[in-house]
Amino acid sequence: MPLPSGILSLFTLPLGRLVLRSVLAEPFVPANRPQKKTLPPPSPPSPPPPAPPTATTDTAAAVDNVEDEEDEDEDESVDSFFSRRFGDAFARTLGSALVHGIYAADSRQLSLRAAFPQLRASETRGKGSVIWGELGPPAWFATNTNTNTNTTESQQEVEAVGVEWETRLRRTAALFSFREGMETLVRGLVEALHGFPNVVLRSGTAVRGIGMIDTAGGGGGDDGDDHCSFRIYLNAEDGKGEGVPLRATHLISALPLPVLDSILQQPPAGGAEAAAGASTTHPSLPHLRTNPHSSVTVLNLVFPTSPPNKNDNSTGEQPTPASTPLHPPGFGYLIPRPEHGYPEPGREGEHEHEHEGEPGLGLLGVVFDTASLPEQDHDGENDAAGFTKMTAMLGGPYPCPNARDSSSSDAQLVAAVVRRISSQLGHALPPPVHYAVHRNAESIPTYLVGHTARMGQLGRALRERWSGRMKVVGAGVGGVSVADCVKAGRQAAFEVADIMV
């Protein structure tokens, strides 16, 4: 299918016509949000069933109040939402592709409230219509109200981050990058933290366990400091045995939730407890292992812009003339879920002929890096205008590439992906002059339906079991993007600072 590359594509290409038809018809679709489930009347008490052996937290985590149950009932999958408001074809083609690009997940599993709360808010504002709630008069009044309400908060954020950051990045930039890659952000943070005399960084040190001091029992520590609420048990610096436990009044965890759960489920050995000189408890937290994680393989490809060798046409496509760009203008393209569904492990190639996309390779989408971030390739000294960069994403809801054939090399994988991209673009790409393959195992959490309600229960457990002194942030909680994680970390830091002042 040809890729849309302009306004006219909405009228001439099948995909564009599908979008127009679905969007224009949506305001006339009656409100059809699923109703809350009516709770049955209370029944006589009966003996509770035994807890399942697979539970990862204590039994208190399984007791949800009525409010939590109603919140979870109100949630639905992204695919369900798009299907009932825009139609099944729109949901499979556009909805699944959107989820592939952000979460590398199956839109039929992803929670709408967690992943795209603004769509649900627009539906509510438009009294059932997403388009009316987003573009109609209800959206105009909502914008004015939100602007007035958030003025003080916005001013505080500007003061915190600086006027230049607010103006250049938050208000005028839809996308930004670092010339030396995302590692620039990490290096900058480390360098800044090293400049504070009251900050100690311990890199390459594994956390063995986390305990909370039972201050009620008088176990405030060997120095009588009742404010040290936590003991954090680390590996020794040489990697052998246990190191000296750290003491802290507050704790912020940005670990992947399953990793945090493993730490909480493994209290340190008795020696560390005795050395701590205090009565320490190890309360668990609910829902840390509920969500699955997607594994994504990322291929960075660099192509020469000169035409390929006329004698080399291994892809079977027509070679690209010297005056023809390697790709159409735009950010890139995403590939929807195939009509027959995702292949089962070990059966990836059965439907290869049905769709030119995912099965076999599990290609989710391609980003045209040179078009989306051209400034990154031009620094005035080393001009990279003679090259075209692309990034291909594979995996997610598909079986991991080469998972069943470990002998396949990176070069073979790159060659197969280049052939697939060539087929989708309609012309042969030249062999890449450089490539890099990154296999990111279980790197992106998939927020299952009910995630928002479960995170509310997690927050309540942190307040009740950990006295509100521990905060859990990160991609597994409230957003998978870098911006989401930075925002959550800043908010947690400000909250802890307010308590300590």
pLDDT in tens, the chain (501 residues): 666 666 777 777 888 889 999 999 999 999 999 877 654 554 444 444 333 333 333 333 333 333 444 466 689 999 999 999 999 999 999 999 999 999 999 999 999 999 999 999 999 999 999 999 999 887 777 655 554 545 445 555 555 555 666 666 666 666 777 888 889 999 999 999 999 999 999 888 889 889 887 655 444 444 444 555 788 988 876 666 677 788 899 999 999 999 999 999 876 555 555 444 556 677 789 999 999 999 999 999 999 986 555 555 555 555 555 557 898 888 899 999 999 899 877 665 555 444 444 346 899 999 999 887 776 766 555 555 688 999 999 999 998 655 445 445 899 999 999 999 999 998 999 999 999 999 999 999 999 999 999 999 999 999 998 888 899 999 999 999 988 998 899 899 999 888 876
Please report the beta strands in 120-276, taking only residues with DSSP state E, as ranges in sequence order.
207-213, 230-234, 246-248, 251-253
Task: Give the right CATH number for 293-445 from 3.90.660, 3.30.1330, 1.10.1060, 1.20.1050.
Answer: 3.90.660
For residue 480, count other CB atoms closer than 10 A to its CB: 22
Q: What is the pLDDT of residue 429?
A: 94
Q: What is the pLDDT of residue 308?
A: 52
DSSP secondary structure letter of residue 266: S
Q: What is the DSSP string of 124-163?
A: HHTTT-HHHHHHSHHHHHHHHHHHHHTHHHHHHHHHHH-H
180's tokens: 């030396």
Q: What is the pLDDT of residue 245?
A: 85
CATH 3.90.660 domain range(s) in the chain: 293-445
Compute the C-alpha angle 177/174/91, nearest 5°. Answer: 110
Q: What is the pLDDT of residue 57?
A: 35
Please say whether the structural domain 1-24+79-138 has been given the CATH code 1.10.3110.10. yes
Tell the CATH superfamily of the 204-290+447-500 domain: FAD/NAD(P)-binding domain (3.50.50.60)
Counts of helices then strands in the chain (DSSP H, E): 20, 11
Answer whether 377's CB lies under 8 Å from 370's CB: yes
DSSP H or E segment with residue 393: strand 387-395
Answer whether 410's CB lies under 8 Å from 438's CB: no
313's tokens: 């046409």
Residues shown for the chain: 501
Q: Hey, which residues does 481 pair with through a beta bridge? A: none
CATH 3.50.50.60 domain range(s) in the chain: 204-290+447-500
Contacts of 477 (CB under 8 A, 6+ apart): 257, 455, 458, 488
Give me the half-sphere count of Cα atoms (radius 13 Å) on the Cβ side of residue 294: 29
Q: What is the pLDDT of residue 141?
A: 76
Rounded CA separation 463/471 (Å): 9
List b or e across 24-54, with b for residues whose CB sees 16 or more CB atoms inside 10 angstroms: eebbebeeeeeeeeeeeeeeeeeeeeeeeee
Q: What is the pLDDT of residue 191?
A: 95
Answer whether 123's CB lies under 8 Å from 133's CB: yes
Q: What is the pLDDT of residue 112?
A: 97
What phi, psi does 111 have (nearest 5°)?
A: -75, 130
Rounded CA separation 473/1 (Å): 41
470's tokens: 């521990």
CATH 1.10.3110.10 domain range(s) in the chain: 1-24+79-138
Rounded CA separation 289/57 (Å): 9
What phi, psi does 142 have (nearest 5°)?
A: -65, -40
CA dist list (Å): 222 to 268, 274, 280: 18, 11, 13
The answer to whether the pTM exceeds 0.85 is no
Rounded CA separation 224/246 (Å): 15
Contacts of 88 (CB under 8 A, 6+ apart): none
Sort strands 293-304 and 280-281 into parallel, antiparallel or unpaired. Answer: unpaired
Rounded CA separation 230/234 (Å): 13
Q: What is the pLDDT of residue 180?
A: 82
Q: What is the pLDDT of residue 14?
A: 85
Answer whether 59's CB lies under 8 Å from 459's CB: no
